Amino acid sequence: MADLSNPAVVRALLARHQLRLKKGLGQNFLVNPGVCPRMAQAAGAGPEVGALEIGPGIGVLTTQLAERCQKVVAVELDQSLAPALEETLQDFSNVEIVWGDFLKLDLEALLGKFGDLPVIVCANLPYYITTPILMRLLESRLPLQSITVLLQKETAQRICATLPSRQAGAITAAIAWYSQPELLFTVSKGSFLPAPKVDSAVVRLTLRREPPVLVEDEVMLFRVIRGAFAQRRKTLLNGLSAALELSKVELTPLLVQAEVDPGARAEQLDLEAFARIANRLTRPGSQS
């Protein structure tokens, strides 16, 4: 089997199939031999599970997953990679490539391909759509075991920031709502071909079976979180009144009843506080 973590082998493969890497599709392929086995292991790859990969590229992580897992389903947008993938995956009968845009595919149908197998997600994500991919996976509420992904270090740090903290953003709160994130290890720019401008990191999300806080209307919770962080320098009162189209006179007592200082900033709130605000907005007159 070709060593896909050797840049010379990758260049030769690309040349053989007349392929040019597409920057617009986030095609930075891993060429550090240590990273893919470590990712597969951290993801919980094993004979009892199936692995869903997003963006196999030329298959460097796919082969590592295929060696360990019972089945691999890999979704790739760039069909010009087909001949190269056919070559690199020729020794594996347990890999299915699904051609298409991950953001548009029917995820339930995708998961159906694994039958009764528990499913892990393991991927080196295209950086231009990291957040939409993660949110789509989480919002789908599919029974995934875990999501282990390689992404830009800065995004990884924001995803894994504690709440509340200055590093926290809307994505921190959203990820914490659905999962328990961990930053596992960093990966240098030089581990990719071509090298991106910034370092990367591997994050593992362990999905929660139950929401961490009671909230009556999840849609409202996310409106509050997004609204609060949209203008993070503003006070909650100013930010939320603009985002929710409520006057400050209407909003102030609701925030006070939710035990939140109207003069606080989004980065000072934990999930419980966001939930209390959302619950107040859902049922303004209630005592709880």
Q: Which residues bind ligand SAM (CB under 6 A)?
A: 25-30, 54-57, 60-61, 75-78, 101-103, 124, 126, 129
Rounded to a whole number of angstroms, the minimum distance from the CB of residue 28 to ligand SAM is: 5
Nearer to ligand SAM, 82 or 103 (CB): 103
Rounded to a whole number of angstroms, the minimum distance from the CB of residue 100 to ligand SAM is: 7
Helices 236-244, 248-257: axis angle to 10 degrees equals: 120
Nearer to ligand SAM, 16 or 128 (CB): 128
Which pair of structure tokens corresponds to residue 104? 């548009």
For ligand SAM, the nearest residue by Cβ is 55
Rounded to a whole number of angstroms, the minimum distance from the CB of residue 109 to ligand SAM is: 15
Contact status, residue 124 vs residue 89, Cβ threshold 8 Å: no
Nearer to ligand SAM, 30 or 161 (CB): 30
Q: Which of helix, strand or coil describes residue 260?
A: coil
Rounded to a whole number of angstroms, the minimum distance from the CB of residue 124 to ligand SAM is: 3
For residues 51 and 118, what is the distance between their CA atoms, to the nearest angstrom?
A: 9
Rounded to a whole number of angstroms, the minimum distance from the CB of residue 178 to ligand SAM is: 21
Per the document, the length of the chain is 288
Nearer to ligand SAM, 61 or 215 (CB): 61
Nearer to ligand SAM, 74 or 224 (CB): 74
Q: Which residues have CB under 8 Å from 9's CB, separation 6+?
A: 2, 3
For residues 237 and 248, what is the distance between their CA atoms, to the nearest angstrom?
A: 7
CA distances from 193 to 4, 185, 205, 268 (A): 11, 19, 26, 40
